[in-house]
Amino acid sequence: MSHPILNDQLQSLDDQGLATTLACLADTCKTISQQLKRGELAGILGAAGNENVQGEEQKKLDVIANDLIKSALGACEPVRGIASEEEDDVVGLRESAGLLVTFDPLDGSSNIDINSMVGTIFSILPGQSTGPVTEAEFLQPGRNQVAAGYVLYGPSTMLALTTGNGVDMYTLDPVSGDFLLTREANIPEATKEFAINMSNQRFWAPAVQTYIAELLQGAEGPRGKNYNMRWVAAMVADVHRVLCRGGVFMYPWDQRDPNKPGKLRLMYEANPMGFLVEQAGGQCCTPEGPILDLQPEKIHQRVPVILGAAEEVSRCVGMHS
């Protein structure tokens, strides 16, 4: 069976600057994939000895992946500026270019040392100025994204990508070195599977407590069906499962730090994943409504996230009303 090659598909885009940027990201993720395959043999495991701007301990591969993507985009002519989870501030590259890229270079880095799934998430926005690059220029609602995607480093390396016309999934062929189109994502409206970190249950808001309690009651409860729970502890892996076979994924607000809106970052986690999920037929919301409609206030802003099967997201959001 013949599978279309990513770079050939990108040539059909109207915006060749976007095509060049996506090809650059895909090629860089191939390099990250190779580093991961060598694991401890390459000396990339363990802590880097630093904290990022979020106060989280950086892993060696967090830094390596960030440097690889930053360097590659720095040489990519269409890219005006970048923002990364691992950078304190936005980085201006070239005032004459037209695209802004935000990214989480290695989502789920706590999984690195146990050889479990991790990934790279990215979002591409249109530039808003021809002058110096500023943080304010990046603060656009997720609806403005011109492309978003992630690369999952698992038993096979896979790229999920949207440019606003559905979600295509590509598998990295280790023989040819090409990303080959292997499937399209479609999230069913209903599901019997959910993903949430149950260890935080006692800290959730009452609406989330009630919603999860319904699911746990199974066929004997108000939902009248049994649910399975899955949790990989890497957003990219849990969302990949939702895109492949349906489900609902949640990382809600909790009262351990009441002033922190959530754990996941809006600009380079929730927005790109929200774009993908909506393009695949699902929903992505906070308790107040669609994530893609939020006006960002700062580059490292956090939000609660409920995404996946439309039936489940609507029910959970409705419980907050």
Q: Is 107 flagged in the annotation as binding?
A: yes
Is-contact 122 287, C-beta < 8 A?
Answer: no
Q: Is 165 flagged in the annotation as binding?
A: no
Q: Is 193-319 CATH 3.30.70.1520? A: no
Amino acid occupying residue 288: E
The domain limits of the chain are 6-184, 193-319
Nearest CA among 172, 161, 152 for reference residue 106: 152
Max CA pair span of the chain: 61
Q: Is the pTM of this model over 0.85?
A: yes
Q: Is 106 flagged in the annotation as binding?
A: yes
Nearest CA among 118, 24, 27, 133 for reference residue 87: 133
Q: Is 263 flagged in the annotation as binding?
A: yes
Q: Is 269 flagged in the annotation as binding?
A: yes
- Separate counts of helices (H) and strands (E) for the chain: 8, 18
For the chain, the distance separating the N- and C-terminal CA atoms, rounded to the nearest angstrom, is 49
Q: Which CATH class is domain 6-184?
A: alpha beta
Give the angle subtended at the CA of 147 by the CAs of 183 and 287, to the nearest 5°: 90
Residue 12 DSSP symbol: T
- Other Cβ atoms within 10 Å of 192 Cβ, number: 15
- Rounded CA-CA distance 30/156 in Å is 11
pLDDT, mean of each 10-residue run, the chain (321 residues): 91 95 98 86 59 62 92 98 95 95 92 88 94 96 98 96 98 97 97 97 96 97 97 96 98 92 96 98 97 98 98 97 82
- Write down the pLDDT at residue 39: 74
